[in-house]
Structure 1
């Protein structure tokens, strides 16, 4: 195998390893959120990380409707309807109609939802700081190559595979 082929396989193996670590990281993030919630004595927190991210999106964009929320989260409207129904039931969000449009529903956070939103924001700031410290070890030209690679991988993975 020539050097180029060897490097391609090393990149492949690292991407596979990265995916596995990402899955573990998501589980770790859920554990961290639950732990922080207990430390801050929050009465409850949604069980699913996607629900926490929906709360985050609502908190950053309130009031926000179902369609815009689905677009921003890159989820289906049906998925957002299901998650928002659960969040409404659990008291994390409010649903209301604006005066000029009785048909369209908008979401905003309750006090309980704002607590989860703030907690999530704190955790993300910590993670962003750690990640920026990692990126500090690369030169600008290297970061451009990394960015191009990640964009290519994202585009490749977003394509539908022929059945």
Structure 2
């Protein structure tokens, strides 16, 4: 039993290390995004990664309303309203109404928002290819275990979030 407890502790330690390294990597990813944007003469960027992901959500689903963005991103409608207003003010998105529904407003990307969406999509594609290449060293069985672990632990963390930790 002691070896199982020791292995669990080692896994926990490695998980904590992973979180720290991942956070540092995300900081670098944001810096890369800013650097590439500067080289492409994209002068204004949201400084919040969630705002960039809202732009991504709009770009993938436009036209889309605040309620749908909140559902897709699993965020509160109030958060999306606040971020959407900021993106509107900064010129990344515009509000439109569909012909058959004058009551509800929808978001679409402006040309500036489309530039940022395209850049973000390219960076995510490169990251996905890098990640999949990294996974090539594992067998199908090992990949199944990794998938199950990530799925189970994500569900556990989501449960804790909804319970208020």
Fold match by TM threshold 0.5: yes
- 1:26 CA drift (Å): 2.1
How much is the aligned-residue C-alpha RMSD, in angstroms? Answer: 1.4
Match runs of 1:1-163 below 5 Å: 2-160=2-160, 161=163
Moved over 3 A (4+): none
Please report the TM-score for the alignment, with normalisation by the length of structure 1.
0.95
- 1:74 CA drift (Å): 1.1
* Higher mean C-alpha deviation, range 42-51 or range 153-162: 153-162
- Structure 1 runs not aligned, ≥5 long: none
Q: How many residues align?
A: 163
SS state of the match for residue 159, structure 1? helix
**Distance in structure 1 (CA, Å) of the matches to 2:72 and 2:29:** 21
**Distance in structure 2 (CA, Å) of the matches to 1:162 and 1:150:** 21
**Distance in structure 2 (CA, Å) of the matches to 1:117 and 1:130:** 20
Please report the TM-score for the alignment, with normalisation by the length of structure 2.
0.94
**Distance in structure 2 (CA, Å) of the matches to 1:114 and 1:67:** 21
Q: Deviations over 1:43-78 (max 9, x none)?
A: 221111111111011000000011110111111100
